[in-house]
Amino acid sequence: MKYLTYFILTIIALFYSCNNDTPTDPGSNQTGDYTKIHTVESGGTRFEVWSSSSPNLIYGYNNIGFKVFMNNNEKTTGFVKYKAIMYHGLNGPSHSVPSKVNFYYDSQIQLFKGYVIFIMYDTAAFWAADYNYNNEAQIDSSVFTLFMNDLSQIKVWDNIYTQRTYILSLVTPLSPRVGLNDIELMLHESSGLVTYREIDSAEMFIKPWMESMGHGSGNNVNPVNLGGGMYKGTANFTMAGEWFLYDSIKYNGQFITKTPPPKFIFDVY
């Protein structure tokens, strides 16, 4: 009888220890705002893709991070390089997309942290990515699925004078509200959609415009550079309805945007 009681107590203790799940549990799919969305594995190397933007990789801006394991040992130093390629059909053209050049480990969120911007979505295309840990381990051409997000907005245009392609990406908000909204935008330049460079020395001039009623708004703040290709400002949408947000961009002493400038379109509520 005494032996049986001991046995039952042991079972109860085991039960409680197994249910003691915390966000720092190595098996957890959640760290901070990030969710594990995808794993690629080859030989003894494993890359986990995490995102705080969506449960999937989506058209538009994605806040992502990586966990890296070599022979089941988690890596927390060095860097991760990630390159996503879009293939327009089997023998069609292919190109890469903007992403952080080096993802470095952030001990707060326990991920190699950065971003990727999927600038196109096409159901006939497919995607693959190369993963590199610290030039020590590499997994190439791993196919993944991209999902659509109707709220994402990316503006891409060519400039014949600078011979560059510019990419203006909406980071936040995807769904602005009536009133003052913090606006975050990223700016990249590219030649031939092969490599991308974050632009940090541009000036931006935003103009909210309610086309249906023919008016703009006051108290807007032009986005200023925060480093890493990111710009932050404030847009004032003074009433519900459809608003345009124009962004004229000056870089190296000249406007690189056309006339009229690129515009994001929001259904403000």
Chain residues that interact with Cu ion, rule: CB under 5 A: 86, 120
* Rounded least distance, CB 97 to Cu ion, Å: 8
CA angle, 249 then 263 then 234, to 5°? 70
What is the closest distance, in whole angstroms, from the C-beta atom of residue 143 to Cu ion in the complex? 15
Which residue lies nearer to Cu ion by CB, 40 or 120?
120
Contacts of 11 (CB under 8 A, 6+ apart): none
Rounded CA-CA distance 220/147 in Å is: 33
Nearer CB in complex with Cu ion: 12/124: 124
> 171 and 206 in contact (C-beta within 8 Å)?
no
Q: Tell me how far, at minimum, the Cβ of 141 lies from Cu ion, in Å.
A: 17
- Cβ 95 to Cu ion, closest distance in Å? 6
Bridge partner residues of 94 (DSSP): 87
Nearest to 264 by CA among 250, 240, 248, 252: 248
At 20 the three-state DSSP class reads coil
Cβ within 8 Å of residue 253, ≥6 positions away: none
Choose among 28, 102, 90: nearest CA to 65. Answer: 102
Chain mean position to CA 30? 17
Minimum CB separation of residue 126 from Cu ion in Å reads 11
User: Which C-beta is closer to Cu ion: that of 121 or that of 244?
Assistant: 121
Cβ atoms of residues 227 and 243 within 8 Å: no
- Encoding tokens for residue 7? 């046995």
Closer Cβ to Cu ion, 146 or 183, answer by number:
146
**Min separation Cβ 114 and Cu ion, Å:** 21
Give the nearest residue (CB) to Cu ion. Answer: 120
- Smallest gap, in angstroms, from Cβ of residue 138 to Cu ion? 24
Closer to Cu ion by Cβ: residue 80 or 193: 193
Residue 12 DSSP class:
H
Of 97 and 185, which CB lies nearer to Cu ion in the complex structure?
Answer: 97
Rg of the Cα trace of the chain?
Answer: 23
Q: Which is nearer to Cu ion, 97 or 230 (CB)?
A: 97
| DSSP SS3 for 18 | helix
